[in-house]
């Protein structure tokens, strides 16, 4: 078993004491794929907009506790000497004479005075401070190869993280000073004089784009198209100007995607740094970068620039005033006054739609808004996780606040003359939006301009009906689909990777999340993969079956699998509720889950031992109708719910009944050991789902997009009530997997209403009461059932024994076959009876319990 390296969150304490900005990085093992090439990203920020995004440093302790790396975002006052012996001349390392030692000698630097991190590759990060107005070079590679000078616009991997190549930790050097509230000591003036960026190093007007924007633009270009040196140099100069020299890391990372130059990072950095001294003659500017993108057919990758850029060739006095800066639309003004209620309401609705159109939404006669939960909440027996986005009804006070934020409200007043004589002067006086206007809007159903909501996604998705990739936040007015994610968190979804690409992506996801899971058969494995895909696209499907994660006993992994589905689709574990013993209580809980609209919901720990049975009218309705009208206990009017949620259940030997038998697919797990919770794994699938979520989501969606682009060639016959879900089944079949719908037969096998199974269970109880029996005991009972036909119960016992053979033993009478069949069917129930299985290495044991007695 491979031992996974462990991060050390305690190493973050000095950064917090010094007030340094910590940011989340990927897990050390995280890789992604760009244009068919794998890239290690364990030292990369999780968000592409990390240079501007707001973070709480304290939150990164939790991030590292989950096993992920953390970075330090540097300010203008920070200076880090990044010493990498791999860049030293051949034969030199930290134990010999080397460029870093020569640098220290040249500038009189005593590194024992500065906090230092020993990196996972055997290098050093030496922490210093500097004046904010001193701009520094990134390197002096011609004099001191292997030494970089990092400051504003850069980040370094923090202590406590794991190096992605060596799998060794970054650790503070205990022999050097520790960072504290005073921060690091200043760098010596001699060092600053040496590395100071010369005047004119940054071209006039440079810096139009930040590192995030440069990375996105370069993603649209192929480095192999720039192998001609002149073309490559032109691009580098344009990128340098566009970022005022700050895009060094992004440009090097892009260049080294070309296999021919994969190990040329140091040389490329040297060439980039040499541009700082080139301050004479004509310059290549960011506009050259824009032209190269347009020539490559990637104009959409160019971020929007200020309107004044369109007039650069004009004399400044001739530039239209409206182009001097990006115009900000003025907020509408709304006059407050008696007799103006309808006018105020009309103006307020228009302002809300324009200023908060993705926040104020309507759903079946109610105004709602998305809310990201700051903490875990419990509501009506339902638990919603911190970080989940749920839908909340809008009340008058919140609406009044948003009215004030989207319009300028005023009333007319007369200002009296200071001398007290003559007529006063009318003026506009700021006012608050009246509450009565908010109340009128809330009750003005049928006259709302707001978008209607049908479903919500917390990750990119693919519309199964159209094949369209949804990778931008906001609400689609045509479909009513609300996207509540940061597009910078996810890579671009490739629309057609072909069948081989789809097979590889599904295989990669399965290995990352489900390796080692004890699936009883291939169909169960397909249900697990179906759950991942279905959860991502569920809001684009009218209906989909419930996915069950079932096992013979606790500790097998079913709850982790359900958590993985939730984390992948929403970033957090699913909103969850226990299955209640009362149908009325279940109806209230189901309604509460569906009202909040979290894309993934879970009924946890459904246990046949307690008499739990998945059934009920409301459950059947929400799984097969969209929208669904229900009547909840305690209310006289019907309530309409959107039902495009991914619904799951976990439990030991889950039992279903009635019509629900054909509305669920089942992933069955069996660890084939007495204490499955004691098994040791080399990974945590939930942690992997969190750490590698962007890549895993992209893999699943690219596989589905490829299947849709191919014309859905493997679609099976549609399943009644779940026709839209056929595309998910077809994808799995296309990629060589089993049909998840094949498990419906296993679900039906647990139907508590089958009379033959009931007879078999009753006979078992008569023969063995609640005692354990082996396959040999049962075979002996069946064989001897015909011996006592003359006694009063003889004939009845014989008929019951035959029912056991047909309903429980698969028509066989051999002891070995009986044992195998009962292990496979563990968890079946009929009436109040329940079959319990204890799988053991040499001989499994079985008994029938009365579920009511076990409650």
The pLDDT confidence band at residue 83, using thresholds 50, 70 and 90, is very high
Mean residue pLDDT of the chain comes to 85
Number of domains present in the structure of the chain: 6
* Per-residue pLDDT, 791: 55
- Could you tell me which residues come within 8 angstroms of residue 263 by beta carbon, excluding any fewer than 6 positions away? 256
Distance CA 230, CA 284 (A): 13
* Per-residue pLDDT, 278: 42
> Does any domain span residue 8?
no
473 with 504, same domain: the answer is: no
> Among positive and negative, which fits the CA dihedral 523, 524, 527, 529?
negative
Distance CA 157, CA 840 (A): 49
> Among positive and negative, which fits the CA dihedral 255, 257, 261, 262?
positive
> Does any domain span residue 290?
yes
DSSP code, position 778: H
Distance CA 667, CA 523 (A): 8
- Could you tell me which residues come within 8 angstroms of residue 260 by beta carbon, excluding any fewer than 6 positions away? 224, 227
645 with 728, same domain: the answer is: yes
* Per-residue pLDDT, 311: 38
What would the pLDDT profile of 610-619 be if each residue is shown by its tens digit? 767 787 778 8
What would the pLDDT profile of 48-71 be if each residue is shown by its tens digit? 778 777 888 888 998 998 889 999
pTM of the model: 0.57
Residues forming a β-bridge with 335: 410
Residue 14 CB neighbours (<10 A) = 19
More confident residue, 49 or 296: 296
Q: What whole-number percentage of the chain has pLDDT above 90? A: 43
Q: How many residues does the chain have?
A: 855
Residue 225 sits at φ, ψ, to 5 deg, of -85, -5
CA distances from 66 to 24, 161, 170, 459, 691 (A): 11, 11, 17, 21, 9
589 with 670, same domain: the answer is: yes
Is 80 exceeded by the pLDDT of residue 681? no
* Per-residue pLDDT, 203: 39
65 with 183, same domain: the answer is: yes
What would the pLDDT profile of 423-450 be if each residue is shown by its tens digit? 677 888 999 999 999 999 999 998 999 9
Helical spans, DSSP H, in 357-416: 396-406
> Does any domain span residue 9?
no
Is 90 exceeded by the pLDDT of residue 633? no
Distance CA 158, CA 236 (A): 29
Of 732, 748, 764, the residue at which a domain comes to its end is 748
Q: CA Rg, the chain, in Å?
A: 33
The pLDDT confidence band at residue 702, using thresholds 50, 70 and 90, is very high
**What number is the average pLDDT over the span 700-707?**
96
Is 60 exceeded by the pLDDT of residue 526? yes
Of 263, 294, 323, the residue at which a domain comes to its end is 323
> Does any domain span residue 476?
yes
515 with 387, same domain: the answer is: no
* Per-residue pLDDT, 135: 85
Relative to beta strand 408-415, strand 333-335 is parallel
CA angle 253, 255, 256 (to 5 degrees): 65
* Per-residue pLDDT, 250: 85
The pLDDT confidence band at residue 785, using thresholds 50, 70 and 90, is confident
556 with 583, same domain: the answer is: yes
Range of 353-362, 532-541, 682-691, 753-762 with top mean pLDDT? 532-541
More confident residue, 845 or 752: 845
**What number is the average pLDDT over the span 582-590?**
83
Of 699, 721, 748, the residue at which a domain comes to its end is 748
What would the pLDDT profile of 218-234 be if each residue is shown by its tens digit? 988 988 889 888 888 88
> Does any domain span residue 6?
no
> Does any domain span residue 475?
yes
For residue 186, which of 114, 104, 102 has the smallest C-alpha distance? 114
- The CATH number that applies at residue 644 is 3.40.50.300
Relative to beta strand 664-669, strand 546-551 is parallel
* Per-residue pLDDT, 1: 42
Residue 441 CB neighbours (<10 A) = 24
312 with 347, same domain: the answer is: no
CA distances from 565 to 375, 522, 684 (A): 20, 19, 14
Structure tokens at 134: 């001193």
Contact in structure between 24 and 65 (CB atoms under 8 Å): no
**What number is the average pLDDT over the span 121-125?**
95
Is 80 exceeded by the pLDDT of residue 416? no
Helix (H, G, I), strand (E, B) or coil at 844: coil
678 with 804, same domain: the answer is: no
529 with 659, same domain: the answer is: yes
Omega before residue 507 within 30° of 0, cis:
no
18 with 163, same domain: the answer is: yes
732 with 775, same domain: the answer is: no
Omega before residue 162 within 30° of 0, cis:
no
What would the pLDDT profile of 185-206 be if each residue is shown by its tens digit? 999 999 999 998 765 444 345 6
Residue 539 CB neighbours (<10 A) = 25
Distance CA 52, CA 330 (A): 26
**Cα 98 versus chain centre, distance:** 45
> Does any domain span residue 224?
yes
Give the structural domain span for 383. 333-442
Strands in 420-486 per DSSP E: 425-430, 455-457, 461-462, 469-470, 474-475, 481-483
642 with 541, same domain: the answer is: yes
**What number is the average pLDDT over the span 380-387?**
88
* Per-residue pLDDT, 328: 45
**What number is the average pLDDT over the span 281-309?**
73
> Does any domain span residue 7?
no
What would the pLDDT profile of 5-30 be if each residue is shown by its tens digit? 889 999 999 999 888 999 999 999 88
């Amino acid at each position: 078993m491979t031992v996974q390296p462990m991060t050390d969150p305690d190493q973050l304490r000095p950064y917090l004491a010094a007030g340094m900005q910590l940011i989340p990085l990927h897990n050390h093992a995280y890789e992604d794929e760009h244009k068919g090439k794998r890239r290690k990203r364990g030292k990369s920020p999780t968000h592409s907009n990390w240079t501007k995004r707001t973070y709480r440093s304290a939150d990164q302790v939790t991030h590292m506790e989950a096993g992920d790396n953390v970075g330090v975002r540097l300010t203008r006052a920070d200076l880090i000497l990044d010493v990498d012996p791999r860049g030293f001349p051949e034969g030199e390392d930290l134990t010999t004479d080397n460029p870093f030692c020569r640098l220290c000698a040249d500038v009189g630097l005593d590194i024992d005075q500065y906090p230092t991190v020993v990196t996972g590759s055997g290098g050093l990060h030496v922490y210093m401070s500097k004046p904010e107005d001193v701009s520094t070079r990134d390197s002096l590679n011609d004099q001191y190869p292997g030494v970089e000078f990092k400051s504003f616009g850069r980040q370094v991997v923090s202590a406590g993280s794991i190096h992605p190549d060596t799998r060794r930790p970054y650790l503070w050097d205990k022999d050097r000073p520790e960072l504290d509230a005073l921060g690091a000591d200043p760098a010596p003036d001699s060092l600053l004089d040496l590395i100071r960026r010369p005047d004119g190093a940054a071209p006039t007007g440079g810096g139009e784009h930040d590192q995030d924007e440069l990375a996105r633009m370069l993603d649209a270009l192929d480095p192999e198209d720039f192998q001609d040196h002149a073309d490559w140099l032109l691009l580098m100069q344009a990128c340098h100007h566009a970022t005022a020299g700050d895009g060094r890391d992004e440009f090097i990372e892009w260049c080294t995607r070309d296999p021919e130059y994969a190990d040329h990072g140091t040389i490329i950095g040297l060439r980039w740094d040499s541009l700082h001294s080139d301050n004479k003659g004509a310059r290549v500017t960011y506009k050259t970068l824009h032209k190269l993108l347009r020539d490559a057919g990637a104009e959409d990758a160019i971020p929007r620039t200020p309107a004044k850029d369109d007039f650069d060739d004009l004399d400044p006095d001739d530039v239209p005033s409206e182009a001097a800066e990006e115009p900000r639309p003025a907020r509408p003004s709304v006059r407050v006054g008696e007799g103006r209620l309808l006018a105020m309401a009309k103006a307020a609705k228009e302002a809300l739609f324009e200023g908060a159109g993705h926040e104020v939404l309507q759903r079946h006669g109610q105004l709602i808004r998305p809310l990201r939960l700051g903490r875990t909440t419990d509501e009506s027996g339902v638990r919603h996780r911190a970080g989940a986005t749920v839908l909340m009804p809008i009340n008058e006070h919140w609406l009044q606040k948003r009215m004030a934020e989207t319009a300028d409200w005023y009333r007319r007043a007369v200002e009296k003359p200071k001398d007290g004589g003559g007529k006063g002067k009318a003026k506009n006086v700021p006012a608050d939006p009246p509450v009565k206007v908010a109340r009128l809007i809330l009750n003005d159903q049928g006259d709302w301009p707001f978008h209607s909501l049908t479903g919500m996604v917390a990750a990119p998705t693919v519309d199964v009906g159209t094949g369209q990739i949804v990778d931008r936040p906001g609400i689609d007015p045509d479909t009513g689909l609300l996207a509540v994610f940061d597009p910078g968190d996810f890579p671009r979804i490739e629309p057609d990777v072909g069948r081989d690409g789809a097979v590889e992506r599904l295989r990669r996801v399965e290995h990352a999340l489900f390796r080692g899971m004890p699936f009883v058969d291939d169909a169960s494995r397909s249900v697990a993969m179906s759950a991942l895909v279905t959860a991502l696209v569920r809001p684009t499907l009218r209906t989909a079956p419930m996915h069950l994660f079932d096992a013979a006993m606790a500790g097998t992994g079913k709850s982790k699998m359900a958590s993985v589905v939730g984390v992948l689709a929403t970033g957090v574990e699913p909103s969850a509720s226990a299955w209640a013993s009362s149908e009325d209580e279940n109806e209230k809980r189901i309604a509460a889950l569906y009202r909040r609209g979290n894309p993934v919901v879970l009924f946890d720990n459904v246990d046949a031992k307690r008499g739990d049975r998945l059934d009920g009218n409301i459950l059947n309705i929400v799984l097969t109708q969209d929208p669904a009208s229900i009547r909840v206990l305690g209310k006289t009017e019907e309530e309409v719910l959107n039902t495009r949620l991914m619904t799951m259940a976990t439990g030991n030997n889950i039992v279903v009944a009635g019509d629900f038998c054909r509305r669920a697919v089942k992933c069955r797990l069996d660890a084939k050991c007495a204490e499955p919770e004691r098994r040791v794994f080399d990974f945590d699938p939930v942690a992997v789902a969190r750490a590698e979520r962007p890549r895993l989501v992209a893999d699943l969606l690219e596989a589905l997009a490829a299947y849709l682009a191919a014309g859905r060639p493997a679609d099976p016959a549609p399943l009644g009530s779940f026709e839209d879900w056929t595309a998910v089944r077809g994808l799995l079949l296309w990629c060589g997997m089993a049909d998840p719908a094949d498990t419906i037969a296993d679900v039906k096998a647990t139907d508590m209403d089958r009379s033959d199974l009931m007879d078999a269970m009753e006979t078992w109880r008569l023969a063995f009461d609640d005692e354990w029996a082996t396959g040999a005991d049962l075979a002996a009972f069946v064989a001897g059932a015909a011996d006592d036909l003359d006694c009063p119960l003889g004939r009845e016992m014989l008929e019951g024994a035959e029912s056991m053979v047909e309903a429980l033993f698969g028509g066989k009478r051999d002891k070995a076959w009986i044992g195998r069949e009962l292990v496979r069917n563990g968890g079946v129930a009929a009436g109040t009876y329940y079959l319990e299985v204890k799988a053991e290495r040499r001989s499994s044991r079985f008994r029938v319990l009365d579920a009511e007695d076990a409650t």
